[in-house]
Amino acid sequence: MNSRPMTASSLIATLALEPHIEGGFFRRTYQADHRDRIGTEGGQRFLMTSIYYLLTEESPVGQFHFNQSDILHYFHLGDAIEYNLIHADGSLQTLVMGSDVLAGQHLQLHVPGGIWKASRLLSGSNSFGLISEAVSPGFDFADMEMGNRQKLTAQYPQHRALIEKLTRDEG
Ligand code: GUN
């Protein structure tokens, strides 16, 4: 038996995670390189890719960003994570991924492409939250846009407070 406590830093080391530009830590665990690529408007992509994604007390926010691809999220371990999704029509959807299924937390979350998404660690006893994401068509930085605070608040002024909390001040 391993008596080492499961902490954010032991998970980062064991799973070999690196900082992600949106915040948090990640590692790609899979890309469908044994299959033909799939054509998208942006070019050829893997049919599917997958990552681990970890939020920690030191890096508790995945900043608002936009993806072209569909993303399935699977909760694994630790504290719950709040997701804020801004749909193309401006409507806001807020939900929580976590293990307390009976309290309405989600083990799986499907985010279709074309949506602005941010995630935030809810403080709990673990100080980390670990999920996986499966992305199809496979992830490519060309299909992702980090949220610019000025641009997003101009587009969705009704969500200004949330956008200011979940974007970096590049001002
Ligand atoms: N977000 C979802 N999948 C990926 C990935 O494979 N790489 C990066 N950098 N971010 C992702």
Cα separation, 141 vs 72, whole angstroms: 17
Q: Is residue 20 part of a domain?
A: yes
The mean pLDDT value for 82-86 works out to: 98
Q: For ligand 1, atom 1, name the residue with the nearest CA.
A: 139
Ligand 1 mean position, distance from CA 6 (Å): 24
Residues with CB under 6 A from ligand 1: 26, 28, 49, 51, 133, 135, 139
Q: How confident is the model at residue 5 (pLDDT cuts 50, 70, 90)?
A: confident
Contact 132, 109 (CB under 8 A): no
Domain that holds residue 43: 8-165
The mean pLDDT value for 135-156 works out to: 97
Ligand 1 mean position, distance from CA 139 (Å): 6
Q: Is residue 73 part of a domain?
A: yes
**Residue 99 above 90 pLDDT?**
yes
Cα separation, 89 vs 116, whole angstroms: 11
pLDDT at 169: 83
Domain count of the chain? 1
The mean pLDDT value for 23-41 works out to: 97
**Residue 4 above 90 pLDDT?**
no
Substitution site in 21, 22, 27, 28 for ligand 1 pocket (most atoms within 8 Å of beta carbon)? 28
Q: Is residue 138 part of a domain?
A: yes
Q: How confident is the model at residue 1 (pLDDT cuts 50, 70, 90)?
A: low
Q: For ligand 1, atom 8, name the residue with the nearest CA.
A: 139
CATH of residue 34's domain is 2.60.120.10
Q: Is residue 2 part of a domain?
A: no
Q: Is residue 171 part of a domain?
A: no
Ligand 1 mean position, distance from CA 92 (Å): 23
pLDDT at 171: 65
Q: Is residue 3 part of a domain?
A: no
Ligand 1 atom showing the smallest separation from residue 22 Cα: 10
Q: Is residue 170 part of a domain?
A: no
- The CA–CA distances, whole Å, from 44 to 35, 47, 74, 143, 155 equal 12, 9, 26, 11, 30
Q: Is residue 1 part of a domain?
A: no
